[in-house]
Structure 1
Amino acid sequence: MQAMEVAAANFERHLVHNTYSGRGLVVGRSSVEDAWLMIYWMMGRSEHSRNRRLVVEGDILRTEPIDASLVEDPSLIIYEAIMVLPRCHLIGNGDQVRTIYEALQAGSSFDAALSTREREPDAPNYTPRISAMLDLHELPGQLTMSILKANAANPAYTDRTTYRPALPPAGLGMGLTTYDSDGSPLPSFSQDPLLLPCEGDIHTVLDRYWDALDANNRIAIAVKRLSADGETSELIVRNRYT
């Protein structure tokens, strides 16, 4: 099966026909220009999880509550999902993004930063922390991805897996989500990074992914376009609740 067919099959199976993939991220290459795309989305089942939206502040993509009076625990729902250092772009589903950002600023590394973090403490789901770094200091760049999830034998421990996939070709990206599917408790993502489609401009990509997410559970999505060298960017957002 060709790469585009694999990506399309993964997209149909894991997003279109899956009511709950949770939060997700994709880093890939545009099919219409020499540029990178970063995709981030949020889903939620509870009132607490749904009480948020994505907000753009300069180069930063962050979450914020829609109704602050309903926030029970801000530590797991309020965070920066995309942050930027010179020629280095970070994306993830929690405040571990800031941990990585501050570690890199201090001269440390992606792996060292995440060695200080655990899966989320939201028993019984123990939501995984998913993160990615696109390093464009030496072109064409390097992609690093990570998932921190509860150990299957003892969820008090965290399994840490880092991936360094080959850079995807134009029109394709590599993706992680927090869950494999809906359930109680929610089953953590158990696969390697998925090859997923990145065809079209950022508006086309946003529409395609938004439409793929379950209409009852989707909350927000963002797509960031980066020039090949990471020097210029554009970031667009769609929120279910405003």
Structure 2
Amino acid sequence: MRSLEKAAGSAGYPGRGLVIGRDEDGVGFIAYWLTGRTAASQQRRLVVREWEIVVEDVSGGPKDDLRHYTAAVRGGDWVVVGNGTQVSELATARRAGNDLQLALRDHAYEPDPPIRTPRIFATASTDGTGVVVGSARAVPGAEELVQHPSLFLEELPPATAVTVRTYAGTAAQVVVDGMPEVVSCQGSWKSVAGIWDVLAPSLRVGLFVVPLDAPGFADDAVVR
């Protein structure tokens, strides 16, 4: 397995990415990061609330659902994290007891041709079980079609995580990704914030890391 840091830093422009896993001590966590290559994408911030984490505009301009959205939702004993409006919809499906691997099939990639940015997401119970990481992405060579790669783990062992990102290329040549990957995760859950250091400084927008078992997001979140 690659390390989390190598996976996160392997693309010059990863777009948005997330990871869900356990640290060396077995503490479950989620993390999410944003990079942006345009002025509009740079003018955003993460706002951490008790039951949700929101990506907000800081320019004073109109709301854009592709750039401003709820990035994480916490239920009583579960979390959902991702890169767009599908987060709130999948959280509703989770509250209803639906299988989110199946619910993901109701979603397509973002309506931003010619890129067709994948919609990525992850969910797990707050005890670190029932982990699902997946995406809705265009089929290479037949971009009008959608595929839904996803990965399910009943339980993650310590020092292991699953990550997925939207892009795998550079800011000059965007390459779509959206394929979940199992990676190694060394150190404590707080050290996952080190992802920030492997992202290109000119592209960084925001990052958060929170433990799964915290009473709420605002209690222990690490935010950049």
Q: Distance in 2 between matches of 1:209 and 1:93?
A: 17
Q: Deviations over 1:164-221 (max 9, x none)?
A: 136332223111011112166521116441414252241x321x11101111111100
The aligned amino acid for 2:5 is F
Q: What is the TM-score of this pair, normalised by structure 1? A: 0.83
Aligned to 1:49: 41
**The residue matched to 1:165 in structure 2 has which SS?**
strand
Residues 1:7 and 2:2 aligned together = yes
User: How many residue pairs get matched?
Assistant: 222
Segments of structure 2 that go 5 or more residues without pairing to the other structure are none
Q: Distance in 1 between matches of 2:215 and 2:51?
A: 11
Residues 1:121 and 2:114 aligned together = no
Q: Distance in 2 between matches of 1:196 and 1:79?
A: 29
Aligned to 2:52: 60
Q: Distance in 1 between matches of 2:189 and 2:93?
A: 33
Q: Deviations over 1:36-86 (max 9, x none)?
A: 1111000000112112111011121110001122x4x61101111110112
**Counterpart selection for 1:223 from 209, 214, 222:** 209
**The residue matched to 1:156 in structure 2 has which SS?**
strand
Instruction: Report the alpha carbon displacement of residue 11 of structure 1 after superposing the two structures with TM.
Output: 2.8
Structure number, greater radius of gyration = 1
The aligned amino acid for 1:7 is R
Q: What is the TM-score of this pair, normalised by structure 2? A: 0.89
**The residue matched to 2:29 in structure 1 has which SS?**
strand
Please list every run of at least 4 consecutive aligned residues from structure 1 whose deviation after the TM superposition is greater than 4 angstroms: 230-233
Q: Distance in 1 between matches of 2:108 and 2:90?
A: 13
**Counterpart selection for 2:74 from 76, 84, 98:** 84
Instruction: Report the alpha carbon displacement of residue 115 of structure 1 after superposing the two structures with TM.
Output: 1.9
**The residue matched to 2:110 in structure 1 has which SS?**
coil
Q: How high is the sequence identity, in percent, across the aligned residues?
A: 24
**Counterpart selection for 1:111 from 88, 101, 104:** 101
Compare 163-172 and 214-223 and name the one that shifted more. Answer: 163-172
Structure-2 change in CA distance of 1:76 and 1:198 (3 Å): farther
Cα RMSD (Å): 2.2
The aligned amino acid for 1:205 is V
The aligned amino acid for 2:222 is I
The aligned amino acid for 1:58 is E
Aligned to 1:193: 181
Structure-2 change in CA distance of 1:17 and 1:112 (3 Å): closer
Aligned to 2:151: 163
Instruction: Report the alpha carbon displacement of residue 30 of structure 1 after superposing the two structures with TM.
Output: 2.0
**The residue matched to 2:167 in structure 1 has which SS?**
coil
Aligned to 2:167: 179
Equivalent residues of 2:74, 2:216 under 8 A apart: no
